[in-house]
Amino acid sequence: MGPHRLEARVNPVNEASRALLTQVGFTHEGALRLAMNQRGRNGIWTDAAVCGLLQSDW
């Protein structure tokens, strides 16, 4: 018995990351407001796009 779900959170403006997740089977499930702290950007909080992949999808 392994994981039944994988989840990824990415910056919604990062189209390349979102496209890669879609290409490997992830589904966009929603957004979290001000959920990610961009460490390299002076601690700026940004939204996060949430993508999921269920065991039944792989």
Owning domain of residue 18: 5-57
- Structure token digits, residue 35: 């959920």
CA 19 to chain centre: 11
Of all residues in the chain, what percent carry a pLDDT higher than 70? Answer: 97
Q: Is the pLDDT of residue 54 over 70?
A: yes
- What's the domain count of the chain? 1
pLDDT of residue 41: 66
pLDDT, average across residues 3-24: 96
Residue 17 neighbours by CB distance under 10 Å: 16
Rounded to two decimals, the pTM is 0.82
**Mean per-residue pLDDT for 34-39?**
88
The span from the CA of 42 to the CA of 23, in Å, is: 31
Which of the four pLDDT bands, split at 50, 70 and 90, describes residue 42? confident
Q: How far is CA 29 from the centre of its chain?
A: 9
pLDDT at 29: 98
